[in-house]
């Protein structure tokens, strides 16, 4: 067996492991994927079941410490609840664990009672810890995740009561967030006034596409879902994507030009996410329309985001000055890299996928299921608290890895 693979197995499984004489890259990837799955399902999720809920006021904590205590954050977001609704719904189906389905039901009920605006419609973005509305803002990013969470809740656990809430949420997005230029408003006031008319942000559109693709995948004859998917894909290709430089800027002005003070920022992790979504779209439509663009966006994210000296993915890159802008390394960009590597041809990136998974299990995800959220460039931990929104990225990545194993 190759020496580097031997060292990898020892680092992951311990000094007393007894690996077979012959071990392929796929064997290594399967072992790493299984370890990730087990840590998440048996440790991380149970840790959140025990510690993630505020028994005093209700609702999920925003950030936890490794000892199970919550970090003092003066709000709670519907986005976090929607992400965890997806996670516990999906994992209840995968594992049959009744604790996970009970947690999903609890989150769903709290979301409806606490975050829905029963006067005007739509979902409030933030609450105070006592359950009162912190402000009336309703943002697209949150609505996209609510749509995704509700759809997973309905399909994974056969909760038909979620259907009407999916329809209500999608109606609000279509009628209130929609702009004439094909984009959607970033955030609205309580009575649906556009609060950021000069900004076109790619991130909420990306996650709205994610929700729309999931809806379409589970109801392929639904013209409403297909229309939304096509609208978002066309918007991305024609206005969001910098086709000349093959990159995605985080923020554009109302004419989709890079003229805002922060238009120079790109996030490699979002290039991986877009690449994976385009690949998913091709699978749903049984086409290869986006195969070249998928590879191009991955290449851009890899070239500008991967730390070729120390490993890991940098958080932000300055595309104007062509240099790393934020050299810290959060967990989620590396997880998004693993997702897209899992759907690219294995003969060209098998070793990269192995390296990325090894870093996740060695550096970030601890054997007890807790994790380090952020490192600096030289792998010194700079944030050891755990944003509860991050388990969404873990759950998505493990789902993709499991699908990859099924194909082998």
Average pLDDT, the chain: 93
Report d(CA 204, CA 219) in Å as an integer: 23
Is the entire prediction scored with pTM above 0.85?
Answer: yes
Please write the tens of the pLDDT for every residue from 263-306.
Answer: 999 999 999 999 999 999 999 999 999 999 999 999 999 999 99
- Domains in the chain with CATH codes: 27-51+264-408 (1.50.10.10), 73-242 (1.50.10.10)
Q: Flag residues of the chain having pLDDT under 70.
A: 1-23, 346-348, 408
Return the pLDDT at 28: 85
With a CB cutoff of 8 Å and minimum separation 6, the contacts of 272 are 297, 298, 301, 333, 336, 337, 339, 340
Phi, psi of 250 (to 5 degrees): -70, -35
Please write the tens of the pLDDT for every residue from 297-317.
Answer: 999 999 999 999 999 999 999
Rounding to the nearest 10 degrees, give the CA dihedral for residues 317, 318, 324, 326.
Answer: -70
Closest to 48 (Cα-Cα) out of 79, 84, 95, 89: 84
């Amino acid at each position: 067996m190759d020496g580097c693979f031997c060292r990898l197995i020892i680092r992951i499984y311990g000094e007393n492991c007894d690996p077979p004489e012959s071990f392929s890259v796929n064997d290594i990837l399967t072992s790493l994927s299984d370890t990730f799955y087990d840590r998440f399902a048996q440790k991380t999720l149970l840790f959140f079941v025990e510690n993630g809920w505020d028994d005093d006021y209700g609702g999920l904590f925003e950030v936890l410490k490794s000892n199970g205590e919550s970090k003092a954050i003066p709000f709670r977001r519907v986005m976090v609840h929607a992400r965890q609704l997806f996670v516990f719904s999906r994992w209840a189906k995968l594992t049959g664990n009744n604790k996970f389905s009970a947690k999903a039901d609890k989150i769903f009920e709290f979301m409806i009672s606490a975050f829905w605006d029963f006067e005007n419609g739509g979902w409030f973005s933030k609450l105070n810890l006592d359950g009162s509305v912190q402000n009336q803002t309703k943002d697209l990013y949150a609505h996209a995740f609510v749509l995704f969470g509700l759809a997973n809740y309905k399909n994974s656990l056969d909760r038909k009561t979620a259907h009407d809430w999916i329809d209500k949420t999608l109606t609000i997005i279509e009628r209130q967030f929609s702009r004439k230029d094909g984009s959607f408003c970033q955030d609205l006031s309580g009575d649906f006034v556009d609060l950021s008319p000069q900004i076109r942000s790619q991130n909420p559109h990306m996650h709205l596409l994610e929700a729309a693709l999931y809806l379409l995948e589970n109801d392929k004859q639904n013209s409403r879902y297909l229309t939304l998917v096509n609208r978002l894909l066309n918007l991305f290709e024609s206005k969001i994507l910098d086709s000349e430089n093959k990159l995605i800027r985080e923020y554009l002005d109302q004419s989709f030009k890079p003229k805002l003070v922060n238009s120079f920022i790109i996030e490699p992790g979002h290039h991986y996410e877009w690449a994976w979504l385009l690949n998913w779209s091709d699978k749903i439509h049984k086409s290869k329309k986006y195969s070249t663009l998928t590879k191009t966006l991955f290449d851009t994210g890899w070239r500008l985001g991967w730390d070729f000296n120390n490993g890991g993915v940098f958080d932000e890159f300055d595309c104007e000055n062509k240099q790393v802008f934020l050299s810290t390394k959060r967990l989620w960009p590396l997880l998004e890299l693993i997702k897209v590597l899992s759907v690219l041809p294995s003969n060209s990136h098998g070793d990269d996928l192995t390296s990325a998974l090894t870093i996740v299990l060695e550096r970030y995800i601890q054997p007890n299921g807790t994790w380090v959220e952020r490192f600096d460039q030289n792998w010194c931990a700079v944030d050891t608290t755990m944003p509860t929104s991050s388990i969404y990225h873990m759950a998505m990545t493990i789902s993709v890895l499991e699908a990859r194993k099924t194909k082998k």
